[in-house]
Every structure is written in C-alpha cells, then in structure tokens.
Chain A
Amino acid sequence: MSTLPDFTHWACPLPLRDYPNVVIGHGGGGKLGAELVEHLFVPAFRNDALENLGDSSVIEFARGASRLALSTDSFVVRPLFFPGGSIGELAVNGTVNDLAMSGAKPLYLTAGFIIEEGLPMQQLGEIVNRMAEAARQAGVLIVTGDTKVVDKGHGDGVFINTAGIGIVPDGIRIGPQFAQAGDAVILSGTIGDHGMAVMSVREGLAFDSLIQSDCAALNNLVEAMLAVDPSAIHVLRDPTRGGLASSLNEIAVRSQVGIDIDERALPVMPDVQSACELLGMDPIYVANEGKLVAFVAKDSAEAVLAAMRAHPLGQQAAIIGKVTHQHAGMLVARTAIGGSRVIPMQLGEQLPRIC
C-alpha cells in the first residue's frame, strides 16, 4: 500500500539508514533532526509550503473567506498499528473531521511528533506515509511540523498532535447548541468498528476477528450533505471517544433538548456486535473514527439521508431518532423489546465486564 522512503541513494555523512531506531539526537534540532525532515517528512507530505522549511508556513487565503475554523487533537493510541489503520491515519482524519463537523472545508494541517527513543525507523516511516496518504485522500496539505524525542520509557512509541485550519462558508451555522425539537437524528453508518478493532489487539483482551477500524476523512461526505440544503443541517458530530452515546448526551445538554432514538435502527456490524457481547460492552459507547451523526431539520431529512447513502462513506446511513422537547438534556432509547432506557454519559472509559 505505501512505500517506505528509499534509503539507498542518500548522501553522507549520516544517512538515516544507519539508524534503524529513532535516537534522542533526532529531536535535537541538529543534523539528525534535519535528516529526518529532509528524508522522511518532506518527501512524504510533499508541498510547496512545507518545502520552504521556514519556522512557520505562510498561506494565502482565497478572497472573501470571513470565518476560519481551527482545531487541534493529540493522538496517543496503543497499539500504534491496529486492523484497518494506525496512529497516522487517525492523526490526519481526526483533525480533518473536527473541522468538517463545523461545516468547514479543511485546508491545512500541522503535525507535531513526540517520539520515544528506540522507535524503529521503519514504523515511523510507515506512520508518516500513511499520514501522507490520508492527507491526499482528504484533500488537505500538511504544511508545518515539529519533532521531539523523549527518553525510552517516557512515551508510547510516538504521540502525534495535529492542528488544522479550514474555511467556513457563509450561510453555514452548525454547532452542538443548534439542535431543535423535531430535528431528525441521522447516523452515517455502523457504530463500534474502530473501538472493537483496537480492542481485538489489546493485551489481555485480544480476540481473532475481521473487524477493521472505520478511520476515514468525512469532509467530502459533509460537503455532499451541505449541498442538499446548508441551513437544514443544525448539528454535526463525529462520535469518537465515548461513542455515539457521549456525543448525543453532549448535544442534548448543549442544546437543552431531549433526544429519542430507536435501538432497532442503529446499524451495527454483526462481528462488532459479537465482540461487544463477548466483552460485555455496549456498541453505543464504543469509539468510531469514520462516522458522523447529523441533526437535520425534519423536512430535509429524507433528502439529506439520500445524499449520504449515495456517498461511499454513508451507504448505511440511517435515521435513528429525533429531537424532542421532553426530558431536556437526556438521551433515551426505545429498546428492541419495546421498553425504554436512559443512556447516560459514561463516567470514564467503558471497560469489559463479567457481571
């Protein structure tokens, strides 16, 4: 899928190929660090702004851009590589998605690396290449970055921070405080894929499965949705840590509305369901990295849903519920057997249970 940097034709005196693992010197701002930038980051991320290698990158904005969206996120996933992805794709898509959830068109990203001494260069190269590929697919450029190296034992291989900037077109008014009674709640696809993919390779809990992370950039999907009717979309959220339940709870509180969902409408892949059953976990609290939930004005719901389903990342989109005046600030679900349950905000991380 990706090609590692070709180490064979590098100039002396200290080519990267002599260092199979990252060492403290690579973060020192000296020759080793410059080598890393020159032979790894720049070729991978390849763009004019980056290649100037200034302390900051200067970008020209299109005329008439009146609102900017800014976002930052840090990525500390363990293990670094999991079925369907790595920390690299997460780092790019996570920030791209945060921008897209404001209705912004994501444009530029920064990438800061805190690398643990001893990380195999091969792994770093793989991660960087995956970031480059993710950025290409999302249509964003990584224009500036930073590298530090910490002593062995003081990091989990690598931590990555990305910050992103995008432009919010006029007429877009999307935010967690804008949900209105009557809005349809639309989910773009299956929930729980990412969290269970990571769980399947976690020490002490691992299991054999074909579950893949759903890590993906959602900005194109959002564009397709906005094209239907930008004013009809009131809230967008990508339910990452804490899952769909956390996102819906947050929105219910911010907008001071109640949310009713029907559990029968929630799309969950059979393997993900099975994995959750095995560990006693609820898919509604499990992390996603390539899904969004949208609060759409009732009258435009069907049209927006159709636009989502026509897009590769929204083929299993479904209307899962609606916003109500009642039980403001709370998420309530109709269960499969016709009862109901309140789905509260979880206090910490969802853990496997035996009880």
Chain B
Amino acid sequence: MCLGIPGQVKQIYEQHGARMGKVNFGGIVKDVCLEYVPELVVGDYTIVHVGFALTKIDEASAQETLKLFHEMGLLEEELEPEAKAAKAPAPESCYVNPNIAKPT
C-alpha cells in the first residue's frame, strides 16, 4: 500500500479550487495534488502516492543518511581484511533463502 515515489515540483497551479503541481519523476511528469503538503514550493522534492503528495522530503536528512550509509562497514573493512576475505561470496547460479526449509 506504500508505493510512494520521490519527485520534484516543477510548477504549481490551481484546479477546482485545489492546489496542484506538475511533478517530475526522473523525466516523467504527472499532475499531483499538493493539498496535503501546503509548504511545498517549486524545486522541492516530495513523496507521491496515487497522485497525492504526502510529505516534503527532508533533503538535509537524506544527505545525512546517505553519508552514514556510505561510511557503514568501511572502517571494519579497513581494519580486518582477513575477516572480509573469509566471507566467501554466494555460489553462482544458486538461490539461497534461509527462510525456506530444505525440501524433504
């Protein structure tokens, strides 16, 4: 129930008395209802679900999160190359799902 896609507000207009926007999703433009996020201005990014903006993306927070993600595990890799080598990659052509019981 949660397919929400990030897009950038390109234009804001009114239709039937409601605040609408043209939102660009990586090259695709859709008309979106902005009534629920009145603080959105052109240039902002928003999460859109079934034609409605639900939230303004906190870009500072996004960048912060990405930075943390990038750093994750890096220090460990630098300090323990042997430990990293010990974790062998999954075998080719082999699906491994720990949640499925071995077929009997």
Footprint of A on B, CB under 8 Å?
Answer: 1-3, 5, 22, 25-30, 49-50, 89-90, 92-96
Contact B93 A278, beta carbon cutoff 8 Å: no
**Across the A-B interface, the 10 shortest Cβ-Cβ residue pairs:** A274-B26, A208-B29, A271-B27, A274-B28, A280-B3, A209-B28, A340-B95, A324-B93, A207-B30, A326-B93
Give the residues from 208 to 223 in chain A that come closer than 8 angstroms, CB to CB, to chain B: 208-210
A207 to B25 alpha-carbon distance, docked (Å): 10
Chain A contacts of B49 at CB under 8 A?
354
Q: A277-B26, A354-B1, A355-B2 are in contact. List 15 more A-B contacts (CB 8 A).
A: A207-B30, A208-B30, A209-B27, A258-B93, A271-B28, A274-B26, A277-B5, A278-B25, A280-B3, A324-B93, A326-B94, A332-B95, A338-B89, A340-B96, A353-B3
A111 at the interface (CB under 8 A from B): no
- The answer to whether B93 touches A207 (Cβ under 8 A) is no
Among A187-218, those with CB < 8 Å from B are 207-210
Is A270's beta carbon under 8 Å from chain B? Answer: yes
Contact of A107 with B by CB under 8 A: no
Residues of the B chain whose Cβ atoms lie less than 8 Å from the Cβ of A258: 93
Main SS of chain B's interface residues? loop
SS class, residues of chain A in contact with chain B: mixed
Judge if A264 is at the interface, Cβ distance under 8 Å: no
A260–B5 CB distance below 8 A: no
Cβ of B26: which chain A residues have Cβ within 8 Å of it? 270-271, 273-274, 277
- Which of B3, B30, B89, B93 counts the most A-chain CB atoms under 10 A from its CB? B93
Nearest residue, chain B, Cβ from A340: B95
Minimum distance in angstroms from A332 CB to a CB of chain B: 6
Is A207's CB under 8 angstroms from B3's CB? no
What are 11 A-B pairs at a CB distance below 8 A? Answer: A208-B29, A209-B27, A271-B28, A274-B26, A274-B27, A274-B28, A277-B25, A326-B94, A327-B95, A338-B89, A342-B95
CA distance A324 to B95 in the complex (A): 13
Q: Which residues of B contact A208 (CB under 8 A)?
A: 22, 28-30
Which B residues are CB-close (under 8 A) to A326? 93-94
A324: B residues at CB distance < 8 A: 93
A354 touches B27 (CB 8 A): no
In the complex, whether A296 has a CB less than 8 A from a CB of chain B is: no
